[in-house]
Amino acid sequence: MSLATAQSSESQSRRISVTSITEKIVIDGNLDEAIWTSAPSIGELVQRQPNPGGEPSEETKVTLLHDADYLYIGVVAYDSELDSINSTQMARDASLRSDDQIEILLDTFLDKRNAFYFSTNADGALVDGLAFGNKELNTDWNAIWDLRTQRNFEGWTAEIAIPFKSLNFPEDKSIWGFNIQRSIVRRLEENVWSGAKLENDFLQVSEAGEIENMSGLNQGIGLDVRPFLASSWTHSRGDVLSEGGSGSDDDFDFEPGLDVFWNITPSLKLTGTLNTDFGETEVDARQINLDRFSIRFPEKRSFFLEDVGVFDFASTGPQPPGGAPSAGADVFPFFSRRIGLLNGEEIPLDVGIKLTGKVANTDIGVLGVQTGSTTIGEAGGNLRTVDDNTFYVGRFKQRIFEQSYVGGIFANGNSNPDISSNTYGADMRLQTSNFMGDNGNFIMDAYALKSDNEGVSDDDMSYGFSARYPNDKWDGMVVFRETQDNFDPGIGFVQRDNVRMYRVAGSYNPRPRDFLDLQQMYHDIYYTYFENLDTGEKESAQFYITPLDWHFNSGDSIHALLDYENRYERLFEPWAIRRANPELGRPAIVLPAGEYRMHRSKMVFASARKRPLSGGFTLGYGDFWSGSSEEVSVNLTYNLPPHITASIRANHTFAHLPEGDFITRIYTGTFNYAVSPRLTFSNLIQYDNNSRNMGWQSRVRWTLRPGNDLFISFNQGWISDPFDGGRFLAQNTKIAGKLQYTFRF
């Protein structure tokens, strides 16, 4: 397809036939096999931004090949400014937002909703994930695949091999969805093969093109067996702040485990895990919660991330653009972190099994997990014995129309084994990329959920609907959600209950030409209202306006300049915004019941990520409950490409209340060193003055070959002694290792 043709038919997807080969391809990044030159390319890419439909500033040649076992993707990224190629990362699943990169989508079922995601940069970083919901991406999922890159006097090349054993696809169809995008960071330029419209995010799978001749593919018997050996040594020092301490203890653990992945059919995958170890999982980012409602931490464990999109439910979001406030009323009927974790302590996962995939036009997901008995610590130093527990989840989505579905969910279990819980419900999504024939996006969601818990017979439902018009120049939403007082999904998560929520929002985001070198301007207005279901009274309200959010072509931005928030909160009973700490003789700070009206402002500045040194600054100030506060956040990142990345972040809140003043502090530092894309060292250090705990995690990942990995992690904790000038005393030390090897059949 010529560029002129592509420009005149932006809304039509493109199609290309993949060349079938028998020659051997050596993955070295050189593209020196003759077939790379003789096979036809997929055609020219087209600018998505800054000039939709325009000719790219640099040429990109993409060629697709396949044999019985692999899909091969060869990319030649020509560049006239070799010294300006931006490539700062090598680590597995690193964020490549500040890099020149190639991104790939494979919609193997051509369902226009879900896709496998792969990405790399000029230094060969391996990034993979699952795209779902037409704009969401989870890069914690990992596939077995291989690539190499090379720089040369014309630019850089990428040679990619994706085994068909790493993918699910229907054996009776030879057409897949496919898209590829090249980003040139210094020009804020994105060039895409299909869907070159500002309204389309690259992750919008519905706008992908198509590749044909995907037949004669070999999945073998579709079985991956991954045995592993995991060991850990923990040195516990007890309560180091108590008088005389409480001694120390050493614990050594060594045990094997097994992960199994079996494609029962090319469309259905069975994932099993035995004696699972999550030693390679990184720790959570520290947060201090100054709100009345719980914080949800993301899932990072690989078993639960397999085919995560099928369990997605329409009771969340819609998420606002970056920087705009979230409603804080999402409902998750299934939240996998409620399995295998209790009060922040890890519960052993003995057996887990998951069936995911597609049957005709239906997406299905079935999950069963058995956790083991263990002893965990509780507040005050007490120990608690937790019995073994079982969990079950069933989910289906019946696809209708081009991008829509109706679905249902059932979940059984509770993170507390003494409680019996069931949750069931239905949801629906109606979505189009051609709203009113105007190539616009429109999404409408609706859902209803009911929990069934012992001793509860009423007020145990949650339901709602939302509509959103998410487009480049105009973006708007309306949301209604009710979550009743006794609604409690046993293995789900509810941000806020006993409320009825209304939200309406709109954004106007023009792209002015030749004005202050601006790329785009954002203007947002959000209004959110919460009504208490018991009294019918207003419980919370927020009016938020962003009058100026400017993004420059340099990559620098003023995300907020005097953003304004008018917030109302009603406390029906006293609330401790800071808990008491008897060890320090620190009393609780308790806000009395009553009405609180707050007026706040915010400024946010960020420099371009393409620079070796980049950073951001945030200042929020104004009323804070019964008094006032200032919130200051500073972050700096330094890249010494492609091997070293270091960053520091500091967050402070200075609160001045009649009930008592306090300061919260969180410090975070990272230092990552990549020897190569297959051997990386990462370090994370965190401290917060609420727990007075400083933690350091150092992780090594060495990929011996795709699918065979060695993980080593070191965790050390310290606690600040307030009676000895803040001196840090060592707490628990843990060293863990895991070696896994994959056999493919």
Structural domains of the chain in order of their starting residue, each with its CATH number: 3-212 (2.60.40.1190)
pLDDT at residue 379 greater than cutoff 60:
no
Specify the pLDDT at position 134. Answer: 64
Specify the pLDDT at position 242. Answer: 55
Residue 534 corresponds to which tokens in the numbers above? Answer: 């018991």
Spatial distance between the Cα atoms of 732 and 379, rounded to a whole number of angstroms: 17
pLDDT at residue 405 greater than cutoff 90:
yes
Residue 264 corresponds to which tokens in the numbers above? Answer: 């029962």
Task: Give the residue-averaged pLDDT of 303-309.
Answer: 81
Spatial distance between the Cα atoms of 702 and 680, rounded to a whole number of angstroms: 7
Specify the pLDDT at position 317. Answer: 82
Residue 3's pLDDT band (cuts 50, 70, 90): very low
3-state class (DSSP) for residue 206: helix
Specify the pLDDT at position 496. Answer: 92
pLDDT at residue 568 greater than cutoff 90:
yes
Percentage above 90 pLDDT, the chain = 63
Q: Which residue has the tokens 């914080």?
A: 295
Specify the pLDDT at position 276. Answer: 80
pLDDT at residue 259 greater than cutoff 80:
yes
The better pLDDT of the pair 9, 160 is held by 160
Task: Give the residue-averaged pLDDT of 90-108.
Answer: 92
Task: Give the residue-averaged pLDDT of 602-609.
Answer: 93
Specify the pLDDT at position 572. Answer: 93
Spatial distance between the Cα atoms of 652 and 143, rounded to a whole number of angstroms: 39
pLDDT at residue 418 greater than cutoff 50:
yes
Q: Which residues pair with 398 in a beta bridge?
A: 362, 406
Neighbours of 20 (CB within 10 A): 15
Specify the pLDDT at position 630. Answer: 97
Residue 4's pLDDT band (cuts 50, 70, 90): very low
Q: Which residue has the tokens 């709602």?
A: 464
Q: How high does pLDDT run on average in the chain?
A: 89
**Three-class SS of 357-410:** EEECCEEEEEEEEEECCEEEECHHHCEEEECCEEEEEEEEEEEECCCEEEEEEE
Over the stretch 666-710, which tens digit does the pLDDT of each residue have?
999 999 999 999 999 999 999 999 888 999 999 999 999 988 999
The better pLDDT of the pair 437, 73 is held by 73
What does R_g of the chain's alpha carbons equal in angstroms? Answer: 26
pLDDT at residue 388 greater than cutoff 50:
yes
Residue 384 corresponds to which tokens in the numbers above? Answer: 């608690």
pLDDT at residue 727 greater than cutoff 90:
no
Percentage above 70 pLDDT, the chain = 94
pLDDT at residue 243 greater than cutoff 60:
no
Specify the pLDDT at position 381. Answer: 60
Residue 406 corresponds to which tokens in the numbers above? Answer: 């109706």
Q: With left for phi above 0 and alpha for psi between -120 and 50, is residue 130 left, alpha or beta?
A: beta
H or E stretch including 304?
Answer: helix 302-305
Residue 2's pLDDT band (cuts 50, 70, 90): very low
Name every residue whose Cβ is closer than 8 Å to that of residue 645 and which is 6 or more positions away in sequence.
88, 89, 91, 94, 637, 638, 639, 670, 671, 672
Specify the pLDDT at position 238. Answer: 65
Total residue length of the chain: 745
**Three-class SS of 21-47:** CCCCCCCCCCCCCHHHHHCCCCCCCEE
Specify the pLDDT at position 337. Answer: 87
Specify the pLDDT at position 174. Answer: 93
Contact predicate 115/208, CB 8 Å = yes
pLDDT at residue 6 greater than cutoff 70:
no
Spatial distance between the Cα atoms of 632 and 382, rounded to a whole number of angstroms: 37
58-72, 242-256, 727-741: which has the minimum mean pLDDT? 242-256
Spatial distance between the Cα atoms of 436 and 342, rounded to a whole number of angstroms: 48
Spatial distance between the Cα atoms of 267 and 58, rounded to a whole number of angstroms: 39
Residue 192's pLDDT band (cuts 50, 70, 90): very high
Q: Which residues pair with 470 in a beta bridge?
A: 475
Half-sphere exposure of 449 (CA within 13 A, CB side): 33
Reported pTM: 0.88
Specify the pLDDT at position 1. Answer: 36
Peptide bond into 318 cis (omega under 30): yes
Specify the pLDDT at position 7. Answer: 37
pLDDT at residue 465 greater than cutoff 60:
yes
Spatial distance between the Cα atoms of 511 and 339, rounded to a whole number of angstroms: 46
